[in-house]
Amino acid sequence: MASNEFQPLQGMSDIHAPEINLWRMIEERARKLFGCYGYEELRTPALEKLSVFKRSIGDTTDVVQKEMYAFTDRGGRELALCPEGTAGTIRHLAGRGEEGLNARVFYIAPMFRCERPQAGRKRQFHQVGVEATGEPNPLADAECIALQQHLLEAWGLDGSKIQISTRGIPADRQPVADGLRNALQPHLDELCEECQRRIDENVLRVIDCKNENCAKVVGQIPSALEFMSDESRKYLDTVILALEKMGIEVEVNPKLVRGLDYYVHTVWEITHDSLGAQNAIAGGGRYEIALGKKAIPGVGFAMGIERVIASLEACGITAEQFAPKGGVWLVSLGEDSLAENMKLACELREKGIRCGMELSAKSMKAQMRKANREGAGKVIIRGEDELAKGTAIIKDMEDGSQEEVSLEDVMRIGFSVAQYEIRNKTNSFEE
Ligand code: HAM
């Protein structure tokens, strides 16, 4: 088998130790914080009907047109792997009737987009996201952004920036599209080929185009905000004021266009300078999604875990810091103590103490080396002598001190090691 036979598909990754420790930290702290804000976890299938995405994200978006893993299954059904979490969440909530219209849910799940893989852009990536359904309310939008800011703090990530704008109310769509189209018309020749087509189809995509020439043109024309109703602008002002009151700084970026069509009113993006071209660690906004007859209004966000991890690492926060360590390591000298230590290990683990041992006879030196590698706080050594006396030798791995204690004391000391580890955690979001 060629060596690349063992690699996952292009743009996808196996996530393993030590990096997995950062993932666990991110997920555990997110779950804890979401609980504080009253969000319940939701797990929807990775596969949905294609129509769920077409009707929510929008037929003319890049995500739907170019990036979805869409296929027809053996039963002739048109399906797609989730490119994002909002559509499936709203599909679920729509099925829960009244209850679904006023719900707060969060998800931590893999998403799939068949994009050209590059730094920060994967084909399978993971999102931590929330959705809060309910009638438009600028305070709900502000609270959602505050939750996101809080989450970044819980993860220990400094240096991110929040950019905010508005897509306005649905009635603004036509005047905004007309206004932008008219402003772009004199520059049509300067736009890239795709934008020359998109200008009629979905003019906001032109504002979002990464082509240098297109960006130059967009820089010269009025922003979408200028074609919006007072109602929409006032809504955005109220969101910003509420955020100011909570001490959360945001930058208004009228050129911010999110690549998904379900947004109304507030949209935002969080970037981190360490990331280069794909610098968005999160995106969010208020939306209206109609999968049945009735549109469901809500607000939410999703943060890309891979990009959060890249930002954390750029800030010097490493997976090793969250690797499991502490507890005790049992060293067995001789076959009898091996059997006795297995019994002792069961008792310690039953008490919730992290405990490891070799399961075959090894030299004392090899066992101590392993204890060190595993980051044990204490080592418990038992040989024939100790077994006969009902004692054990306990070695403190930090200061190197050693003492012989009775077997009852072994349990007590093991327990105090576990207690000590809990006391030493400083961040209130650490378990
Ligand atoms: P989005 O901006 O498409 O929004 O994605 C959110 C985040 O997912 C991005 O900021 C980025 O961190 C991460 N992400 C997206 N695509 C990739 C990729 N190919 N590789 C790595 N990371 C990626 C949404 O998905 C909306 N559903 C957010 C939302 C929820 N709006 C309202 N509620």
DSSP state of 366: H
DSSP state of 246: T
CB contact set of 365 (below 8 Å; sequence gap of 6+): none
The pLDDT score that the predictor gives to residue 332 is 98
Ligand 1, atom 25, lies closest to the CA of: 84
Strand ranges inside 229-350, DSSP E:
251-252, 263-272, 280-290, 295-304, 328-332
pLDDT above 70: residue 377? yes
What is the mean pLDDT of the segment spanning 168-194?
94
Q: Which two tokens stand for residue 255?
A: 């050129």
310 contacts 271 by C-beta, under 8 angstroms: no
What 3-state class would DSSP assign to 29? Answer: helix
Which of 34, 107, 260, 261 to probe ligand 1 with, by most ligand atoms within 8 A of CB?
Answer: 260
Q: How far apart are CA 341 and CA 357, in angstroms?
A: 8
The pLDDT score that the predictor gives to residue 429 is 67
User: Is any atom of ligand 1 closer than 6 Å to the C-beta of 125?
Assistant: yes
User: Is any atom of ligand 1 closer than 6 Å to the C-beta of 124?
Assistant: no
Tens of pLDDT, residue by residue over 57-67, are: 999 889 999 99
Kind and range of the H or E run holding 14:
none
User: Is any atom of ligand 1 closer than 6 Å to the C-beta of 285?
Assistant: yes
pLDDT above 70 covers a percentage of the chain that reads: 95
Give me Rg for the CA atoms of the chain: 28
**β-pairing verdict for 378-382 and 328-332:** parallel
CA of 34 to the centre of ligand 1 (A): 18
Ligand 1, atom 16, lies closest to the CA of: 121
- Ligand 1: atom nearest CA of 115 is 19
Distances (CA, A) of 120 to 12, 259, 306, 319: 11, 17, 7, 18
Ligand 1, atom 4, lies closest to the CA of: 283
Q: Which two tokens stand for residue 285?
A: 């906004």
Pick 4 or 127 by higher pLDDT.
127
User: Is any atom of ligand 1 closer than 6 Å to the C-beta of 113?
Assistant: yes
Which of 127, 166, 167, 260 to probe ligand 1 with, by most ligand atoms within 8 A of CB?
Answer: 127
Range 29-32 contact pairs with CB under 8 angstroms and sequence separation of 24 or more: 29/151, 29/154, 29/155, 29/429, 29/430, 30/106, 30/108, 30/128, 30/151, 30/154, 31/106, 31/108, 32/154, 32/429, 32/431
User: Is any atom of ligand 1 closer than 6 Å to the C-beta of 115?
Assistant: yes
CB contact set of 188 (below 8 Å; sequence gap of 6+): 196, 199
The pLDDT score that the predictor gives to residue 343 is 95
Q: How far apart are CA 84 and CA 259, in angstroms?
A: 12
On the CB side of 22, how many CA atoms lie within 13 Å of its CA? 20
Ligand 1, atom 22, lies closest to the CA of: 304
CA of 7 to the centre of ligand 1 (A): 25
DSSP state of 63: I
CB contact set of 148 (below 8 Å; sequence gap of 6+): 162, 270, 282, 284, 301, 303
The pLDDT score that the predictor gives to residue 426 is 54
Which of 91, 125, 257, 271 to probe ligand 1 with, by most ligand atoms within 8 A of CB?
Answer: 125
- Ligand 1: atom nearest CA of 301 is 30
pLDDT above 70: residue 390? yes
User: Is any atom of ligand 1 closer than 6 Å to the C-beta of 305?
Assistant: no
Q: Which two tokens stand for residue 22?
A: 């950062």
- Ligand 1: atom nearest CA of 307 is 12
CA of 110 to the centre of ligand 1 (A): 11
For the CA atoms of 168, 172, 174, 176, the dihedral, rounded to the nearest 10 degrees, stands at: -60
- Residue 134 falls in which region: left (phi positive, over 0), alpha (psi -120 to 50) or beta: left
Residue 295, classified by CB atoms within 10 Å of its CB into exposed (0-12), middle (13-18) or buried (19+), is middle
Location of structure tokens 């400094």:
158
The pLDDT score that the predictor gives to residue 409 is 85
pLDDT above 70: residue 2? no
pLDDT above 70: residue 337? yes
CA 6 from chain center: how many Å?
26
Q: Is the pTM of this model over 0.75?
A: yes
Q: Which two tokens stand for residue 416?
A: 């105090």
